[in-house]
Amino acid sequence: MDIPKALKQIASKFDRTVNTILPDTLQFSIFGTVVPDISVPGIQTRYAGQTLAHTSHSREPYPPININFTVDNRFNNYWVIYTWLNMLSNDKTGLFDQQNLTTPTISITNPGANNTHFQYKTTVSVFGLDEYNKRVVEFKYTDAFPTALGGINYSYRDGGELESNFTLNYSQLQITPISEIENL
């Protein structure tokens, strides 16, 4: 997953602070998610006393998905998702983009478009692995952004890894099989 254009302005290669994020921390270990149902519904047309079935030629909107992940030992991946959500609705003011990370741009091809809204979205790829941990399929979620970040259940008695999740909204889902040649 690449961070959205707006968050790249506060990205740091070396250190995470209150005002910066480490962009590479979004390459994290996902231990569970659900690939949504894909539906192109049929429609019925009445004609000459019969009912004919046709395709609607359009997909139903995709539901948000939950992605379960392991929180890294410095909380960097959790911090990036939190910062992303905080850009969408600031925890102190409730405003969008309190730090003015998005910049309005004018599109030559579509002058009426407000490109500010595309600056907080990105493409998220989730790879399905085989029994040898080789990538076999890519699920690509386009124009994606988080809408919720799950809690973390601490237990100092348990020596296990910390886990959390986030909810992802997106515009399209593209599925691509990965050939064995690409895994070499």
What pTM was computed for the model? 0.80
Question: Which residues on adjacent β-strands are paired with residue 144?
Answer: 122
Residue type, 78: Y
Predicted local distance difference test score (pLDDT) of residue 111: 52
- Report the number of distinct structural domains present in the chain: 1
Q: Tell me the residue ranges of DSSP E strands in 85-158.
A: 122-129, 135-149
Instruction: HSE, CB side, 13 Å, CA atoms: give it for residue 38.
Output: 9
Residue 159 resides in a domain = yes
Residue 44 resides in a domain = no
Residue 40 resides in a domain = no
Residue 23 resides in a domain = yes
Q: What is the CATH number of the domain that holds 152?
A: 2.30.110
Residue 87 resides in a domain = yes
Per the structure, the complete domain to which residue 79 belongs is given by 5-33+65-183
Question: Which residue's entry shows tokens 């500010």?
Answer: 116
Dihedral sign for Cα atoms in the order 139, 145, 150, 156: positive
List pLDDT tens digits, range 59-76: 999 999 999 999 988 888
Residue 21 resides in a domain = yes
Question: Which residue's entry shows tokens 């890894």?
Answer: 161
Question: Which residue's entry shows tokens 């990965």?
Answer: 178
The mean-pLDDT minimum among 7-11, 91-95, 180-184 falls in 180-184
- CB count within 10 Å of CB 141 equals 24
